[in-house]
Amino acid sequence: MKPSLIPAQVEEHDLEKAICGDLDGLISDLDVESLADQATLYDGPDYGVWEMRQTFLEICRHALMSIVRYMKAINLGFLSHDLIDVMELIISPLVDKAEQVGVKLETIRLVAFQRALQEIQTSQVSLSHDRIAPLNAIFDAVRDTLKLDMRGHVVAVANLLAFYQKLKQDPDVTPEEIRKVFAIGIPSLTMIRKSTLEDLSSLSGIPVKRMSAIRNIAREFQLSWLLKTSVHALTHGAIENASDLTPEVVPSRI
């Protein structure tokens, strides 16, 4: 029997403090060009360079913990190309910065995972457990190198995926805004719903007014009862994969 990652009560709960907590620096604020210049001036270790790299790696960990949750959902059968797209939105900006910051092993691991995701994105083959197996092995190396861990929660992932699909269908939300929102690494809609606009704007680089509109979208819908039931069936083997699920977004009563 497949283990269930869904708690008895399916509503998302606690705010993911690890993701939206205070960070000493954000990716967009890292002066990577200055850092690269500094790195060429020192033959030995330099504390300023080391400290900048450690700050960047901490940002990576916060963003990538969400992917731990996504991969757990995938391994329970939640096979969705949209979820592959969301993971790529997180990885790609990290790869660009990692190369500039000069964290060599971490860059190698992130690039390998990025390429594996992009290979799946460009293929026309339906996702399957056999297709995902190499992705698992590559991400295991990322997880071990960066010491990542996060509790699994399939309903939270399904809810987040429905939110992603909702944003893509909204003519008032641009692809660039979607990219910026998901690039920060979102473990669940609870983070979007409960975080302050200032924190979300700072993390994503989206102006507060636009971030307010996006947060309102997150607050105004929830998964339908039908989809929640289907997610339970998926994790217990009654449904083969997430492509059989049809997300239905309904207004929240809360």
N-to-C CA span, the chain: 35
Q: Can you tell me the distance from the alpha carbon of 142 to that of 108, in angstroms, rounded to the nearest whole number?
A: 9
pLDDT at residue 90 in the model? 95
Of 139 and 18, the one with more pLDDT: 139
The Cα–Cα gap between 247 and 244 comes to 10
What is the C-alpha to C-alpha distance for residues 251 and 215, in angstroms, rounded to an integer?
14
pLDDT digits (tens, 9 = 90+) for 69-115: 999 999 888 888 999 999 999 999 999 899 888 899 999 999 999 99
Question: Do 173 and 140 contact (CB within 8 A), yes or no?
Answer: no
Cβ contact 127:80 at 8 Å: yes
96 closest CA partner among 88, 104, 86, 107: 107
Q: How confident is the model at residue 123 (pLDDT cuts 50, 70, 90)?
A: confident
Query: Which two three-digit tokens encode residue 251?
Result: 């207004």
- CA separation for the pair 222, 48 (Å, rounded): 45
CA distance 241 to 79: 5
Which stretch of 120-134, 167-181, 220-234 has the lowest confidence by average pLDDT?
A: 220-234
Closest CA to 91 of 74, 116, 72: 116
- Tens digit of each residue's pLDDT (9 = 90 or more) over 192-225: 999 999 999 999 999 999 999 999 999 887 655 4
Other C-beta atoms lying within 10 Å of the C-beta of residue 54? 12
Residue-range domain boundaries for the chain: 17-251
